[in-house]
Structure 1
């Protein structure tokens, strides 16, 4: 059986990527969150870390839309296959796909997020 809270957290995460409110984005996460997106890059922690991530997205992209395509959940964890399209800060249209692994705490806050996608491929499109 899947947990509705991990589905809700995933939906809220992808919706918040589009929004300009870094504080509302940070509120989706537990205070002790471990955030690595993309995996292999620097890991961030806490609300300040995810707030910096969100502000970095807003600087790098004129527009960014991410859509969950499939959510495979079990208990408090889910793997989410997603598609992203956007306009880079340089004005180029870019599209890419990835998978995020999300874990929520009992309150439904994201306590761990790992994003798997091709950073070098995205940079090459820019």
Structure 2
């Protein structure tokens, strides 16, 4: 898998979130892929689990813009710093940031994602 392919997979992951496109989001993952988002919470596994995760995003935000601010690729892994700004279903806004660690399978699909960020701080902004 080339660096360009992995950069494209990372870009597709974030584009799916910005576009609120469940199918595009799920399809960047391997069928048995898993997401630890955030790390410490129970993982979402397989395409059904990832759809459940994305329904949570859709239930919380009417709009969510996540932007990759730095992408570092080494072999079949990527570390990405991102910043996000969202508008909650209640009209309130939140700004937050984090780091995602991606592991890709030989087909360039995400096999494992570990997201480091503070969901409590984000939710507090949406409740203010």
For the aligned pair, the TM-score class normalised by the smaller chain equals over 0.9
- Structure 1 stretches (4+) deviating beyond 3 angstroms? none
TM-score between both structures, scaled by the size of structure 2: 0.92
Deviations 1:12-57 (A, max 9, x none): 0000002233122211110111211011112011011111111211
Name the residue aligned to 1:15: 15
**Aligned pairs (5 A) from 1:1-126:** 3-126=3-126
Deviations 1:48-73 (A, max 9, x none): 11111112111110100000000011
TM-score between both structures, scaled by the size of structure 1: 0.93
Give 1:90 shift: 1.6
- Separation in 1, partners of 2:25, 2:63: 16
Give 1:5 shift: 2.2
- Separation in 2, partners of 1:75, 1:4: 11
Query: Are the aligned partners of 1:72 and 1:79 in contact in 2 as well (CA < 8 Å)?
Result: yes
Consecutive unaligned residues of structure 1, counting only runs of 5 or more, are: none
The total of aligned residue pairs comes to: 125
